[in-house]
Homo-oligomer: A and B are copies of this chain.
Amino acid sequence: MQEKHHVVVVGGGFGGLQLVNDLRGAPVRITLVDSRNHHLFQPLLYQVATTLLATSEIAWPIRNLYRDRPEVTTLLGEVVGVDPANKSVVLASGKPVSYDTLVLATGATHAYFGHDEWAPVAPGLKTLEDATTIRRRVLLAFERAELEEDPAKRDALLTFTVIGAGPTGVELAGIIAEMAHRTLPGEFRRIDTRQARVVLVEAGPRILPAFTEELSAYAARELAKLGVEVRTGAAVTDCTDAGVMIGDVFVPSRTLVWAAGVQASPAARWLGIEADRAGRAIVEKDLSAPGRPDVFVIGDTASVMQEEGKPVPGIAPAAKQQGAYVARVIRARLEGKPAPGLFRYRHQGSLATIGKRAAIIDFGRIKLKGALAWWIWGIAHIYFLIGTRSRFAVAWSWLWIYLSGQHSARLITQKETLRNDG
């Protein structure tokens, strides 16, 4: 008996899971490799960083998702390279995993534009550990301010700077401001948390550049209402543990969060193919690697152009569409049918929230803002969460926050005490 066609999928994010889901019933066996044991619902990661949600509410063990599909093998392992000549993937353990078809869906991480030395003082937000690190630093800053006698040092502890005003930066700044101005007052005795400053720095001319100018201006006004200082057209030139240099002005700020740039995972390097400036592998219009029809690259680590010459955005719906498309290509090939045409991205809309009451949505012809947009945003995110359990847990946490004003996950963990953290 001939062994079934072996599809190796690297990465259990939105693209990888959609692909595996859509290959159900196909005449293949699948190996899904990820360096984490869990799928992470990244669109809500900022809510873990800001104490709204618990880690386990937005993460789910990957192998549990495929327990009923014996043809799917889940491997916890770190891929360090691809050997396309021998059609195999190399794991950090040294073990090769051979494939008939390979799909790289390895995502992206944050980039510091050549300033990797900023990483320790201005953590980005891509993993659960990033989120709990930011959560710890934000909570510890208030705790330290309560203990600090020197007014200048106290002000620096009560200044939070978010660098980059895309959806993640806006969402982080909004919730941190709400915490300081609405959740925490009354809990401290020496400081007034309402005195805290939240600075949102954006090098471009306006926040949320993916939205229309009108929605962007609305978001800026809502942020201002929450007490966020928005600084556009302002480039960050240095980050230290004492503060941030914006242009040539130093802002003392002990808590920095990086939400400015992304860098693709090294899929292009592994394959020896061309990458764009952000390191994304430039793929063919059917998402295969140039000259390697049996290798596909999807999601945040692929550089794909839309028909109008704009790049496909690095968001969850795009990754899912690519995963679904590649599943159709693989099925067609195995069935000896013609390929399903080239990949076409359908933009379903852009969403961003500002604090816990307002959001903006751009569905193309329909544009929404305010409380209604916030409710649509919330329902959409609950709908897209994986698993009944997570949906109920997140819905319950949000309802609780809505009713009580109290956040659910205000934990300082990881043994960092007042002494050993700068």
Contact = CB atoms under 8 A, between A and B. Distances in A.
A73 to B, nearest CB: 4
B93 A419 contact: yes
B67 A186 contact: yes
Contacts of A372: none
Q: How many copies does the complex hold?
A: 2
Interface in A71-120: 73-78, 92-93, 95
Nearest to A57: B54
B417 A78 contact: yes
B57 A418 contact: no
A68 interface: yes
A56 interface: yes
A206 to B, nearest CB: 36
A212 interface: no
A419 B78 contact: yes
Interface string A12-40: 00000000000000000000000111100
Given A389-B400, A412-B38, A419-B93, A73 B189 contact: yes
A195 interface: no
Contact of A392 (B54, B56, B396, B409): B396
B406 A76 contact: no
A68 B186 contact: yes
Among A78, A188, A411, chain B packs the most CB atoms within 10 A around the CB of A411
A59 interface: yes
A64 B187 contact: yes
A401 to B, nearest CB: 9
A147 interface: yes
B76 A415 contact: no
Interface in A191-230: none
15 contacts: A37-B411, A54-B57, A55-B409, A55-B411, A59-B411, A61-B187, A61-B411, A67-B186, A67-B187, A76-B146, A76-B147, A76-B418, A77-B147, A92-B419, A128-B411
